[in-house]
Each structure stands twice: as structure tokens, then as C-alpha cells.
Amino acid sequence: MATDGHRDLFADWSATLADLSATGALLGWDRETGMPRGGAEARARQMGTLSALHHRELVRADAGEAIAALAEGDLDADTAAMVAWARRERDRATQVPEELVRELSEARSRAVSVWLDARPRDDDAAYLDGLRPVVDLTRRYAEAVRGDAAELSDALLDDYEPGATAGELEPLLDELAAGVRPLVEPATAASPPPLPEAIWPADAQVALAREVGAMIGFDLERGAIARSAHPFTTSIGAGDVRFTTRVDEADPVSNIRAVLHEAGHALYEQGLPERLAGTFAHDAPSLGAHESQSLFWENHVGRTDGFWRSLEPTLRALFPEAMGTVGIDRLARTSRRVQPSLIRVEADEVTYNLHIVLRFRLELALVRGDLPLDELPGAFDDGMEELLGLRPPRPGDGVMQDIHWPQGLIGYFPTYSLGHLYAAQLAETAAREAGPLSDLAAEGSFAPILDFLRRAVHSRARLVRTDELMRDANGAGLATAPFIEHLRRQYLREP
């Protein structure tokens, strides 16, 4: 039976872990936004120390006893979610032998170093040598946490998208690819050429990032925005959510896309209920759910004519010169440019999921033992040719383009596609409940859109799992049709 002692210990332990995570997040934020070069070595060690202390705290035996005692009792919905997520994370941490944790961490570090060195040299043999122990140890990790999962990959998927299984995802992503592929050619043909040359000064783009963030509801009193090489969002405790954007003086659209994407993540974090702060329930239930929010704002709001119209006065004020040569319609159309390309991170909304489908198929085959690692580069190139009609001319732009597999992120890629599918379903529901998103954006009415997301998604945090969260929000289960229909409307102007 749970005592007050159990409850106090559980609350303190949860809050301590949240503090350690937030502190680790600040170390990461500062590394990308403020740290001088000379700090790199000490920073790596500091982040390692914080992770080790987090792990040590997570696996504390008395916390396990408190969880077990609490789980036996009659719990309100909030506490039930906190206890269930805590048990899940602690169990994962205790099921993996320490020796394996250490080996995996070392193999990942080594694989990333090798990747950094081998990619510019197109040395796929070195890349595969670095990757091999990561794949082997990740399979051993999956065995350790497998439980009663139907296959090994399910254990890996579960780390990023709790509840997802390869058995369900495989046909879903095949259907997604089949739906997308016929649209690529007509969408490409309907695309505008690149923007005419103009200078969009960096300082004004930083100011623009703040304007766009504030415009859609990001609270700058409870967050901050900075520049970094690669945009990201991080939460440094409730009340302090930050994101970065990239700035390219030749291209304001890239900055605005990044801001909308990261602000989507950040609005989710700012919308999590304060009463859950410092507990295991104060988070999204999955990466797919989180990505649904970034992609919602980036793709379903940020590529509409209405959004660009409402941004026009801000752009004219900040970029009087460039806006003298580039009209707002041109910017809006540029935001919807489609062009099959080799590099996933540069892909447009139409072709992006084809990159994901390829990676998901390959990692599934690797984990199932259906694809020998040596054959991965060739299989990658064949898949690119089949799905996107492009054959990478060199491995650095092929299988070696992503850092994720060397980092040990296997089972992570499909959360991007889930994000696209969930975002399209949520956008349909939002439009039904609040009105056409482009029209709302044109009027500067972003609040009804955010209100819908707050109510349907953010406020529910981890109180339910992703499938239930999305079914409640949309009145329907996960499907590809809303996304495909959205692409047809947005890129082929079908009604």
C-alpha cells in the first residue's frame, strides 16, 4: 500500500529527474547558441556527467518500490499517467545491462566520429565499419527490452513512438508512398522557379523570427529565440521553452519555415499543463505527436496564401529593399516549391515522406536480418531510384547523408511520417471546427487555431497515448487519405 513516504519520494525523485533533464537541455542549448569554441571539451564531459547522474537517479531502488506501491492504489488520472510513464522509463533503464549501455554509448560516439570523417571522403566502407557495432548492439538492446513484443523492431519503435509496431507501420507507409508518388511529377511541374536574387539582411531576419513566433502565439516571456546552424527546440523547465532558427541572407522563406516548425514544437511545450510540471506526464506521448505540431504550423499554416498575406506588412517594414523586387505572391508560391532531391533535410512536403519510407524499409530489413549491412549502400541507392527517380552520385549524398543511424537512432525515422499524417488529420479537424486555415491566417486570427491545438493536443500531455489522443481529437484513426488530399489541394490546387 502506498504511504505518504512513497508519494513524497516519488514526487521528489520525479522533480529531481526533471531538473537534471532541464539542466542537460540548457547545456545543449548553450553549446549551440553561446558557448565559445574552447568550451567544447569540458561541455562534452559535463553532458556525460549529467546523463550519468540522471541514469543513477532514474534506477534508484527506492523509486522502484514507490512506483510499485503507488501503482497498486486507486489513482486519479494525472497520477496514474505519472506513475505509468515513470515505470516505463525506469523499467527500460533497469532492463539494459550497464555493460551494454556503456558499449552502445561508446559505439555510437565512435560511429559519429567515423561518419564525420568518412562522409566528405565518400568512404562508405569506413562508415559501415563504424555502423556495424551500433546495429549489432542496438539489436542486443532491443532483445533486452523486448518484453512480449512481436518482433525486435517493435522494441526500438517503442522508444520513440510508444505503442507503434512494425506490423502496423509497414503497410501504412507503403500506402503513403503509393499515394505520394503519382503527385511528385505534377507538383514539380506546377512549381515556381527559385526566388530572384535579393539580400534579406540577417539582423532583420532575426527580428522577423520574433515577429512570426509572437504572431502565432509563442510567449516570449516564457521562452526565447536564438540563431544556430541547425534549428531546434528545447525545454529548460516549464516556463522556459526556447527554439533556434537558421538565417540565410538569400532566402527568408527557409527562416520562416524553420520558425514555424520550431515554434510548433515550442507551442506544444508551452501548452503542457503547469500542474504536471516536474513529473513524468509533462511531455508529449510520442515523437510523432510532437512532430504533428511542428508540421501543422510549417505546412498547413505556413504554406498558405493567407499566412503570407498577413505577414506582408511585417516583411515590407523589415525588408523594404528586397520586398521592392519580390512580391508577396511570389514568396507564398516559393513556400510551396516542389523538387525531388537527394537530401532528406532539404526535401519539400510532397517528397519528404519518400525519404522516410526508404529509411524505414532499410532499417527494418537490417534489424530483421533480411539485409546484410554490406549491402546497405546499394540498397539505399536502389530505393532512391525506385521512390524518387534519383540515383545518388556518391555515398556522401546517399546512405551516408544522415547522422541518425550512426547516433543509434534506429526506429526513429518513421515518427516523421506519423507527424505528417497526424498533422493532416488535425488540420482537417481544425478547419472543420474553426474555419479554413488560410482564411484565418489571412485575418491574423491565429488564436482559434492555437486554441484548438491547446484543447485537442497540448493540454492532454501524456494523459493518454498517441493513438487515443489523435482519435479523440479527430474522431478517426490514423489514415493516409487526409494527407494525400491535403497535398492535392496545396500543390495541385485541386478543390
Residue 167: CB atoms within 10 A of its CB come to 11
Residues 6+ apart with CB under 8 A from 162: 88, 285, 286, 465, 466
Least separation in angstroms between residue 338's CB and a copy of itself is 37
46 or 95: CB nearest a copy of itself: 46
**What cell does 463 get?**
494523459
Alpha carbon of 409 to those of 267, 349, 406: distances in Å? 25, 22, 7
Distance CA 280, CA 461 (A): 10
* Torsion, CA 397, CA 403, CA 405, CA 410, rounded to 10: -120
Distance CA 492, CA 495 (A): 9
220 or 345: CB nearest a copy of itself: 220
74 or 221: CB nearest a copy of itself: 221
Just list the catalytic residues.
Answer: 262
Asked if residue 285 lies in contact with residue 466, where contact means CB atoms within 8 angstroms, the answer is yes
Least separation in angstroms between residue 262's CB and a copy of itself is 16
50 or 137: CB nearest a copy of itself: 50
24 or 398: CB nearest a copy of itself: 24
Least separation in angstroms between residue 203's CB and a copy of itself is 11
Least separation in angstroms between residue 463's CB and a copy of itself is 21
Question: Which class for 274: exposed (0-12), middle (13-18), buried (19 or more C-beta within 10 A)?
Answer: exposed
Least separation in angstroms between residue 485's CB and a copy of itself is 39
Distance CA 400, CA 396 (A): 5
35 or 442: CB nearest a copy of itself: 35
Least separation in angstroms between residue 23's CB and a copy of itself is 5
Asked if residue 59 lies in contact with residue 94, where contact means CB atoms within 8 angstroms, the answer is yes
Please name which of 312, 284, 305 lies closest in space to residue 215, comparing C-alpha atoms. 312
**What cell does 193 get?**
522557379
Distance CA 446, CA 263 (A): 13
Q: Which residue has the cell 512480449?
A: 148
User: What does the binding site for a copy of itself look like in residue numbers (CB under 8 A)?
Assistant: 15-16, 19-20, 22-23, 26-27, 30, 34-43, 45-46, 49-50, 53, 219-224, 236-240, 277-278
